[in-house]
Amino acid sequence: MALPVVRSLIECAEYNNTVSPYIYQLQPLPQVFLQSATNIAALKQIYLDTNPLISAIAFSIAISPIFLVVSEINKNYSQVDRVWSILPTIYNIHYAVYAHLAGIETTRLDLVAVISAIWSTRLTYNYYRKGGYSIGSEDYRWAIVKKQVGPGVFFLFNIIFISLAQSLLLASVTTPSYVLLLTSRLATYNSSVSSFSLEDVVASAMMLSAIATSFIADQQQWNYQNAKSAYRQNAKVPAGYEQEDLDRGFLTKGLFAYSRHPNFAAEQTVWVVLYLWSCLATGTWYNWTGLGAASYLILFQSSTWLTELLSAQKYPEYKLYQRKVGKFLPSLGSGGPIFPEHQTKHAVGNSTMEVDASQARQRYDLR
């Protein structure tokens, strides 16, 4: 049997009952899959006979060597980054598809899949417009890490973390959907268990709100970077911006007046809420799927630490920004003026404008 026998909602969240008995399926699955690779009917049966959580984990492990080989051949270590916004939705759709094929009530899982698709659309679009899918595009931080640790250690780092651990992480953040699948199965055969309730409405609304916040933050950052680029090219301050803000080099207005990384904060919130959704659905305070959300938070903490270390080295005023505005969550007093008002008044006139333009170019060259 591919799914565990559960008699209560609490049992749906028990690791020893819903995960441990199926781990053994990981070992024979590759061979069984290869033996039936050309038989569609057999593949469908294998899919249904394999625990859906195990299928997701097996897939995440199977694609990790691809990331490794491609990254080493191209010496570009952002291969996982290119599918970061896609894989979680594939896993969530996988759980919904499995439920459909197994005759399980799917309202809750379909909703998760739709929300996940919206999340993917936003993040993929933002990654695309920033050039993430361009040939040769790579996260600049990988080159810095490689320089610090050396090529040998970095190769091991690529095997263990970049290619394998990150792939497993993207599967693990969706494990709450497996728990939701089990609750939906229980509701299918037990009329006293609700398949959709107020908790589902609240959780889905929170996820959508987090996605909307990410979209707004991304757009504010995009607009600012375009304005800064235009200002550096022609020394003219675009409408809606102040020269001091563009000279500073980083955004401190809008959502960024309350959080240094509002898009990152909202991004993490999406998967934390999915985990909390599984807790609400099972009536538990916590469950094993929290490991995925916790790992996601840890990754963002470490990667943001490196990002901010580099930003503080590049922008003189960034440390003041760090002191006054919280990294992810708003701090006490955030939202007000962050930097002292500049007292310099810019005269109006062609000669003064030319001087200002020259000074702006010099500031750009220094940065």
**Over the stretch 269-306, which tens digit does the pLDDT of each residue have?**
999 999 999 999 999 999 999 999 999 999 999 999 98
Q: Average pLDDT, stretch 50-77?
A: 97
Q: Virtual CA dihedral for 159, 164, 166, 167, nearest 10 degrees?
A: 140
143 and 218 in a single domain? The answer is: no
Residue 341 belongs to a domain: no
363 and 279 in a single domain? The answer is: yes
Q: Give percent of the chain above pLDDT 90.
A: 84
158 and 224 in a single domain? The answer is: no
Among 124-133, 218-227, 340-349, 352-361, whose mean pLDDT is lowest?
352-361
Q: Which of 115, 111, 126 is nearest to 88 (CA)?
A: 115
Residue 182 belongs to a domain: yes
Residue 345 belongs to a domain: no
Q: How confident is the model at residue 332 (pLDDT cuts 50, 70, 90)?
A: confident
Q: How confident is the model at residue 334 (pLDDT cuts 50, 70, 90)?
A: low
pLDDT of residue 352: 39
Q: Out of 193, 216, 242, pick the residue that ends a domain.
A: 193
**Residue 318 reports pLDDT greater than 80:** yes
Residue 291 belongs to a domain: yes
Q: How confident is the model at residue 331 (pLDDT cuts 50, 70, 90)?
A: confident
Q: What is the pTM of this model?
A: 0.89
Residue 340 belongs to a domain: no
221 and 325 in a single domain? The answer is: yes
Q: What angle do CA 208, 331, 248 make, to 5 degrees?
A: 90
166 and 244 in a single domain? The answer is: no
**Residue 358 reports pLDDT greater than 80:** no
pLDDT of residue 287: 97
**Residue 367 reports pLDDT greater than 70:** no
Q: Average pLDDT, stretch 341-352?
A: 40
Q: Average pLDDT, stretch 175-201?
A: 95
**Which long-range contacts link 271-274 to residues 24+ away (Cβ below 8 Å)?**
271/88, 271/173, 271/296, 272/296, 272/297, 273/203, 273/206, 273/207, 273/210, 274/112, 274/173, 274/174, 274/176, 274/177, 274/203, 274/207
Residue 344 belongs to a domain: no
Number of structural domains in the chain: 2
Residue 273 belongs to a domain: yes
Domain extent at residue 246? 197-335+350-367
pLDDT of residue 335: 66
Q: Average pLDDT, stretch 348-356?
A: 38
Q: Which of 227, 258, 225 is nearest to 241 (CA)?
A: 227
Q: Out of 193, 209, 239, pick the residue that ends a domain.
A: 193
189 and 270 in a single domain? The answer is: no
Q: Out of 127, 160, 193, pick the residue that ends a domain.
A: 193
